[in-house]
Amino acid sequence: MFYRVVSAEAFSAERQFLWDLCYRATGSVVDADMLLRDSFTKAVERPLVNQDAGWRPQLASAAAILAMDALRHRKRRSYVGCWLPSPVETGAGASHGLRPSTWPNGPRYDAVESGSMAFLMALEALDPGERLMCLICHAFGVESHAAAATLELTPATARSALQQGRRKMQTYDSTRQAPTADVQPHTADVLRDCLSCLQDHDAAALEKMLARDAQLCFDGAGEFIAPRAPVGGPARIARLLVKFADGIEPVRFAFRMLNGLPAALGSSPGRPRWARRFIFRIETRGDLIVDVQTVMASAKLTAVRFDPA
């Protein structure tokens, strides 16, 4: 009984660390909350293994293994529409944006970047083991042999997973900007211009703001009317967004920092099967928009405070 009491105190101390790990591992607030609870139950099934190291390694191992199981289960399920991570509020913090030129033993991605929507979307291309190895090593700064022990993998399996994960993250590294203090205000300016075009129903002006390879994704999870596949091409995206804006008018926007970048929180009386609340966000490359994402699924909005109607 004594070790259970001590572990409960340790769990409270490690709660934020564990939640951050579970959220980055799954990209889901709902899953992170569930895994946080279950990791404590799993960790105290046995006495503390290493008194000197404390409870963090044991709690982290329980959370990471449960996260891998949750990812495998999710990959076996079909999802209606485009899957996007659950947005979370992150305040004014910015990424330092200085990734090491080579893969270090310490963190390659800081806390803000590793929680960004672009980073979480890039992780979706990784297998569960690859994803957890990359996160534990390169977002939390754990050495590979310790990460292997955390995930209960053989050194060879862990090394292979880390190498494959690194390879799959190369496109992200070469094409995506971290949400730095310079990127954040620029994104805010482009976002406001984009919303102005939408409210004016100016598809032509909006089209000029979009990169040739831009993509639009709606995450409605089958709950609301929305395209079920990504939409590409500036002209198609502009026409569809103007149509979407017409369907939800009148709409009121508030602005908040979500996952390291400014985003618009939309509220509208809506129509049947149109979302009354949604999050509208963009990613930029220079002055052009490369990603437009609209999160509407109710389960994805639980960690965001909308203004009272």
Which numeric CATH code is attached to 2-79+108-174? 1.20.140.160
Please state whether the predicted TM-score (pTM) of the whole model is above 0.75: yes
Whether the per-residue pLDDT at 3 is higher than 70: the answer is no
**What digits encode the pLDDT tens for the residues 232-285?**
999 999 999 998 888 777 788 999 999 999 999 999 886 778 888 999 999 999
Q: What is the CA radius of gyration of the chain?
A: 20
Q: Which residue has the tokens 């404390």?
A: 54
Q: Which residue has the tokens 């970048």?
A: 261
CATH 3.10.450.50 in the chain is located at: 183-300
Please state, in angstroms and rounded to a whole number, the distance separating the CA atoms of residues 211 and 214. Answer: 5
Please state, in angstroms and rounded to a whole number, the distance separating the CA atoms of residues 158 and 152. Answer: 9
- Return the percentage of the chain with pLDDT > 70, whole number: 94
The CATH classification of domain 183-300, taken from the options 3.10.450.50, 3.40.640.10, 3.40.120.10, 3.40.50.920? 3.10.450.50
Nearest to 81 by CA among 232, 239, 222: 222
Q: Which residue has the tokens 């002006």?
A: 205
Which tokens sit at 75?
Answer: 């990959």
Question: CB of 260 within 8 A of CB of 90?
Answer: yes
Question: CB of 244 within 8 A of CB of 103?
Answer: no
Going by their DSSP bridges, the two strands 261-267 and 288-295 should be labelled as unpaired
